[in-house]
Structure 1
């Protein structure tokens, strides 16, 4: 494979299929629970994890399996709750509606109707329910009583897979040694991976160069060791 490809300003197209999701110890429990959604306690689950941890990806995988409708919590004021409650539902980023009485009440009614109709409910957030800051007591109690699973910060394998996927979403294919180089030196978070890949994409476009270890070192603000300069452009 020729890794010295030119860089083009192509649209970012996230791949959200099950085959695009890399399973590691950091997310294995979440994957298992989503695959066994018929067994959720109370027919509901809270998927918790930092931004970029894979919540959206897993939500889409589960929605494709269960036929669920995916909604942003901040959009609940604009949807017909009784109609959307007639099937499985995903509500993303519940922490974003904390303190908004109208949206909290909408989620409370959706929660009750979906479960009353016998359908499963998946909610996502960046932290545990007791830290969301919900002000509607009935909703808070129901969310805190919801079974939850956490996506942890990435281990080396998962971080490498996430970076590879982020590059692929941007239609970039750097050499494997670039991925190894980045994993060993970057901040260990999904946010850092997303920001770093975006920065490398911009740098490659601006300098009209492929993504190599040398470019990665420049973006990271580091100097490569002599042995890392071999085969770099």
Structure 2
């Protein structure tokens, strides 16, 4: 009789901690965090968070959204006729400005926000000046808005992110484990989250506790394995 193979882990619900107290601060994001923390004491009612994928823009935007009771909106879905409803709470997060499809809708949003005293937080992978929207007045407004840069996680932040994702899953990783992992993945929040998920799922499916052998199995596996 053959030995049973690895078991598939049950798809248990997993909720990452996403509050302000869970947002890890380092030199790569400290300025942006300070800017969010000082709201509503902003010099202008519009701010732009700019950073590469995995830099923490969405997490920080969620922190502000909770604090300001703002509604969420994807830039590519923004429509002029939806603007009054989107600003019902006098605060709005517009994610992924670089994917905007309707510049006139954004210009209307900025005007309506100014008229009603609403706050806007925009996120983008590119600076407003690099977006080159065809409306000069819109570009002027965006370029005048304070732009806060987030950078890819530095070494210390990457270690903290990996440790946090393990802790969110109720798993303790030693400093040796954390350093081993961080030296072998891309420097992004997405990579940290993804590798922890893969390691944890591998450990669960084989009925093992987290150890260096489990970590090596995952990190040394072919890219198309599984």
TM more than 0.5: yes
Shift of 1:204: 2.8
Q: Which residue of 2 aligns with 1:83?
A: 85
Q: Which residue of 1 aligns with 2:35?
A: 33
Given the superposition, is the C-alpha separation of residues 96 and 14 from structure 1 closer, same or farther in structure 2, using an over 3 Å criterion?
farther
Given the superposition, is the C-alpha separation of residues 68 and 219 from structure 1 closer, same or farther in structure 2, using an over 3 Å criterion?
same
Scaled by the length of structure 1, the TM-score of the pair is 0.79
Instruction: Say which of 45, 48, 51 aligns to 1:46.
Output: 48
1:194-209, aligned counterparts within 5 Å? 194-209=193-208
Q: Which residue of 2 aligns with 1:165?
A: 164
Q: Which residue of 2 aligns with 1:175?
A: 173
Whole-angstrom CA distance in 1 between matches of 2:134 and 2:201: 42
Given the superposition, is the C-alpha separation of residues 80 and 205 from structure 1 closer, same or farther in structure 2, using an over 3 Å criterion?
same
Counting helix residues as a fraction of each chain, which structure ranks higher?
Answer: 1
Scaled by the length of structure 2, the TM-score of the pair is 0.81
Q: Which residue of 1 aligns with 2:59?
A: 57
Whole-angstrom CA distance in 1 between matches of 2:157 and 2:54: 12
Q: Which residue of 1 aligns with 2:97?
A: 94
- 2:80/2:106 contact within 8 Å kept: no
Whole-angstrom CA distance in 2 between matches of 1:95 and 1:195: 24
RMSD value over aligned CA atoms? Answer: 2.5
Tell me, yes or no, if structure 1 residue 151 matches structure 2 residue 150: yes
- 1:174/1:212 contact within 8 Å kept: no
- 1:115/1:121 contact within 8 Å kept: no
Shift of 1:168: 4.1
Report the number of matched residues: 212
Tell me, yes or no, if structure 1 residue 214 matches structure 2 residue 195: no
- 1:68/1:89 contact within 8 Å kept: yes
